[in-house]
Amino acid sequence: MTEDTKSDESRRHFLKSMALGSAVMGASAVAPGLPLTKTSGAAKADGHAKQKMAFIQWQPHTVPNAWSKGIEEVLNAQEIFDYQLLDGQNKVEVQVSLMDTLINDGASVIFLQPIDSVALAPSIASAKRRGISVITLNIDATEEHAAHVEMNHYFGAKEIARVMGEKMGGTGEVAIMNAPPGIIIRDQRTNGFVEGMAEYHPGISIVADVNAEWSRQKAQDALNTVLASNPNVTGVYGVNDSMALGAVDVAKQKGILDQMTIFGNDGERDALESIEAGELTGTQYTDVYQQGRFAASAATVMATGGISARDFQSQGTLLMPYIIATAENVGGIQEAQRW
Amino acid sequence: MISKIAARVPNGGLIAFFVVMTLFFCFFARNFATATNVENILVGYSFIAIVALGQMFPIMARGIDLSIGSILALAGMVVFDAILIFELPGWIAIILAIAAATLAGTLNGLFIVILSLQPFVATLATLAGYRGLVYAISGRQLYPELATTPLRDPSLAWFNEYYDVGAWFGLDAFITTPWIPASFLVLLVVMVFLYVLLAKTPYGTALKATGGNKEAARLAGLRVRMIEVSAYAMSGFLAGIAAVLLVARLTTSTEALGIGMELTAIAAAVIGGTRLLGGQGNVLGPVLGAFFLGVVLIGLTLMGISQFVQQMLTGAILLAAVGYDAIRRGAGQ
């Protein structure tokens, strides 16, 4: 062995130790109840066979893409994992089939953004029986599993209502650009906003709640219709940023942007840039890369520590920290945190 | 000699391609050649094969059913509502769901023959209409707490059972045999029923004649309008059966169930040799087509091939199937 390769080896070990250390910290944050001391993670980390991990996303979108990048950052640093991003194609039966395939392939950890909380539960139970840990992102499942890492949908939306109401001076009419029914995060983001308005700003009334199907284009059409029947609307809440940006498009086109208060939810790059341009009023920002890193850190500990899904006594849950990004604080979000 | 035999075997080309692809994945995809993987393919694609068989009927009648995914969702939601809201026994819920799906299919046929609508247009309209109906009757919307309540009815749960058929025949003493899912057994029963219907009854001949040349069929005294309606009713009926299998597997139903299913079903039917110009098709083809898609997707996933490449390959396979059909027809003329 040459000096160079020795140096590479020791560097690799050092990086591995660092990554494992951060993984332990991350996992502690995610699931304080995990039996981390039961086995040593370092021993298995020295093994040669690569372990498989995969993320089954709902469908390609900026949010799961950013999660996947965060996950990859952590897993690639270990050099002992094969990682694969899989597309659920917005079909629950495809997600179930992919779960079965990964279970058969002996994946050590599966990251999952379930399309439906109940429909994926049998697959999660099946993975658990095989000792495979499942970590869900944003949408929880009814079957208990290793860990759940979620944006703070309800309280974030409540906080949006508080800040938005302040920007509107505590009075006025608001329209919600909403997602199709039947999705838990849609309800959390809607209920948080509605209850937040009722609690903090009872003088503001919500006069319209329309389905714009998560889409910027659909939100443009929807807001045009809403404004025709409710010309006094001065506030718009988009359940995601795309729909809020659609509302911005309409307000600009009608020349009423300066009279409007428009908030989104998620905190994607386009929304932050729109805030900086003085168009969108604000959004709930979550560092989605970090969300992926937290999930991957927990996964790393489980896999290298030989922790079987059967060992878990209870599911760990982490609600991600967030800020309500507005013109006053958006500059504080660093380039590396933008997704 | 071999080519003569192959030419006489229905779907010979597809069977050969299926075998080659399966062997390829057995050698190059880790954990493909396992009993568990066979179980996964059988359980994951049996209901798609049934939907594809349903799609075959309108295509054979020179039509198409774009609403098949929405009908599947409608039947799924009927099961959900009947069991969780009305607390009906599972077997009644299953009958109601299949009846609702058959009715929806029949309405498609009636719209097409009575209003003289293009099948593409009529079923595109009902694709949206039935999906809207699913949202309207959704127990998950009417009673949000039910959205997280799984369906545990024993009649429904049976469709998600597995049977150690290998042990029945003593094969488990030699190899690890896959357990056969009940959904695959249902598929086999459906195949036998449809084979008899299409190959052994006058109805099968009448359907092919109607799809091959409607005017000639009418002049020959066939009740072509009734036959067209029946093709869409069969499509709905089979979508209803598929919905029961899917809901049993998921232990719930969702408003978005079956979105995009029509494209998968059309792809499976066409890969299986069902002519888009009507008049031709058999029971084995769509089933092989569905499982072929399953083998390819699962094999590529196990090989770690990118999801985008998988979709491109699926498109390429569909193109190849349609192209092969066109060349074969060209050669036959």
**Contacts of residue A84 in chain B, CB cutoff 8 Å?**
301, 304
pLDDT score, position B7: 62
pLDDT score, position B5: 59
Using an 8 Å CB-CB cutoff, list residues of chain B that contact chain A.
30-31, 34, 36-37, 40, 43-44, 47, 135, 138, 140-141, 144, 147-150, 160, 246, 249-252, 254-257, 259-260, 294, 297-298, 301-302, 304, 307, 311
Look up residue A268 and give its two tokens. Answer: 């994607």
| B92-95 contacts, C-beta under 8 A, 24 or more apart | B93/B153, B93/B155, B93/B156, B94/B155, B94/B156, B94/B244
Of B52, B63, B60, B57, the residue nearest B269 (C-alpha): B52
* Averaged pLDDT for residues A264-269: 95
Distance CA B331, CA B333 (A): 6
pLDDT score, position B181: 96
Of B272, B288, B291, B289, the residue nearest B280 (C-alpha): B272
| Placement of tokens 């029923």 in the chain | B193
**Contacts of residue B301 in chain A, CB cutoff 8 Å?**
84, 86, 98, 101
Q: What is the CA radius of gyration of chain B?
A: 20
- Three-class secondary structure of residue B89 per DSSP: coil
CB contact under 8 A, B255 and A105: no
pLDDT score, position B3: 59
CB contact under 8 A, A100 and B43: yes
Q: Where are the beta strands (DSSP E) in chain B?
A: 162-163, 180-181
Distance CA A142, CA A119 (A): 9
Of A119, A61, A86, the residue nearest A266 (C-alpha): A61
Here the ipTM equals: 0.88
pLDDT score, position A278: 97
Of A105, A112, A53, the residue nearest A88 (C-alpha): A112
pLDDT score, position B331: 62
Q: Which residue of A has its CA nearest to B42?
A: A97
Q: Is the pLDDT of residue A10 over 70?
A: no
CB contact under 8 A, B141 and A182: yes
Q: Is the pLDDT of residue A6 over 70?
A: no
Answer positive or negative: Cα dihedral of B219, B222, B226, B231.
negative
Distance CA B73, CA B161 (A): 22
Domains of chain B: 13-159+178-332 (1.10.3470)
CB contact under 8 A, A100 and B40: yes
Domains of chain A: 3-151+288-321 (3.40.50.2300), 153-285 (3.40.50.2300)
First to last CA, chain A: 42
Distance from CA of A248 to the nearest CA of B (A): 29
Answer positive or negative: Cα dihedral of B310, B312, B316, B322.
positive
Look up residue B203 and give its two tokens. Answer: 């109805």
**Contacts of residue A117 in chain B, CB cutoff 8 Å?**
147-148
Nearest to A84 among B31, B47, B304 (CB): B304
* Averaged pLDDT for residues A172-197: 90
Distance CA B22, CA B42 (A): 14
**Contacts of residue A96 in chain B, CB cutoff 8 Å?**
44, 249-250
Q: Which of A178-187, A215-224, A280-289 is predicted with the least confidence, judged by mean pLDDT?
A: A178-187
Distance from CA of A190 to the nearest CA of B (A): 14
DSSP result, B151-172: P--HHHHHTT-EE-HHHHTTGG
Distance CA A292, CA A112 (A): 11
* Averaged pLDDT for residues A104-129: 93
pLDDT score, position B240: 98
How many interface pairs between A and B have CB atoms less than 8 angstroms apart?
A: 94
**Contacts of residue A118 in chain B, CB cutoff 8 Å?**
147-150, 250-252
What is the three-state SS of A258-298? HHCEEEEEECCHHHHHHHHCCCCCEEEECCHHHHHHHHHHH
Distance CA A103, CA A124 (A): 10
Q: How confident is the model at residue A289 (pLDDT cuts 50, 70, 90)?
A: very high
Q: Tens of pLDDT along A40-49?
A: 333 344 445 7
* Ramachandran class of A171: left when φ > 0, alpha when ψ lies in -120 to 50, beta otherwise: beta
Distance CA A165, CA B2 (A): 78
Q: Which of A7-21, A191-205, A223-237, B116-130 is predicted with the least confidence, judged by mean pLDDT?
A: A7-21
pLDDT score, position B108: 97
| B180-184 contacts, C-beta under 8 A, 24 or more apart | B180/B39, B180/B42, B181/B39, B181/B42, B181/B43, B181/B46, B182/B158, B183/B42, B183/B43, B183/B46, B183/B47, B183/B159, B183/B245, B183/B248, B183/B249, B184/B42, B184/B43, B184/B46
Q: Which residue of B has its CA nearest to A118?
A: B148
Distance from CA of B14 to the nearest CA of A (A): 23
Label the pairing between strands B162-163 and B180-181: antiparallel
pLDDT score, position A182: 65
Q: Is the pLDDT of residue A160 over 80?
A: yes
Tell me the C-alpha to C-alpha distance, in Å, between residue B18 and each of A8, A265, A282, B14, B285.
47, 47, 54, 6, 12
Q: Is the pLDDT of residue A270 over 90?
A: yes
Of B283, B326, B276, the residue nearest B58 (C-alpha): B276
pLDDT score, position B219: 93
Of A56, A231, A236, A68, the residue nearest A164 (C-alpha): A236
Of B86, B88, B47, B77, the residue nearest B239 (C-alpha): B47
SS3 content of chain A, % helix, strand, coil (to 5): 50, 20, 30
Buried b (16+ CB within 10 A) or exposed e, A135-166: bbbbbbbbbbbbbbbbbbbbebbbbbbebbbe
Q: Which of A112-121, A323-332, B304-313 is predicted with the least confidence, judged by mean pLDDT?
A: B304-313
The tens place of each residue's pLDDT in chain B, 333 residues long, gives 555 655 666 778 888 888 999 999 999 999 999 999 999 999 999 999 999 999 999 999 999 999 999 999 999 999 999 999 999 999 999 999 999 999 999 999 999 999 999 999 999 999 999 999 999 999 988 887 888 899 999 999 999 999 998 888 888 788 888 999 999 999 999 999 999 999 999 999 999 999 999 999 999 999 999 999 999 999 999 999 999 999 999 999 999 899 989 999 999 998 888 888 888 889 999 999 999 999 999 999 999 888 778 888 888 887 887 777 677 666 655
**Mean pLDDT across chain A:** 86
Q: Is the pLDDT of residue A17 over 70?
A: no
- Three-class secondary structure of residue A29 per DSSP: helix
Distance from CA of B99 to the nearest CA of A (A): 23
Distance from CA of B255 to the nearest CA of A (A): 7
**Contacts of residue B135 in chain A, CB cutoff 8 Å?**
180-182
**Contacts of residue B148 in chain A, CB cutoff 8 Å?**
117-118, 142
Provide the CA A22 distance to its chain's centre, in angstroms: 20
Distance from CA of B264 to the nearest CA of A (A): 12
Distance CA A184, CA A165 (A): 25
**Contacts of residue A93 in chain B, CB cutoff 8 Å?**
44, 47, 246, 249-250
**Contacts of residue B302 in chain A, CB cutoff 8 Å?**
101, 105
Using an 8 Å CB-CB cutoff, list residues of chain A that contact chain B.
82, 84-87, 89-93, 96-98, 100-101, 103-106, 115-119, 121-122, 142, 180-182, 184, 187
Distance from CA of A153 to the nearest CA of B (A): 18
pLDDT score, position B140: 86
Q: Which residue of A has its CA nearest to B256?
A: A91
Which residue of B253, B301, B303, B305 is the best one to mutate when testing the A interface, meaning the one whose CB has the most A CBs within 10 A?
Answer: B301
CB contact under 8 A, B150 and A115: no
CB contact under 8 A, A98 and B301: yes
- Three-class secondary structure of residue A316 per DSSP: strand
Of A279, A303, A339, A281, the residue nearest A23 (C-alpha): A303
**Contacts of residue B254 in chain A, CB cutoff 8 Å?**
92, 115-116, 119, 182
* Averaged pLDDT for residues A147-162: 95
Distance CA A327, CA B166 (A): 67
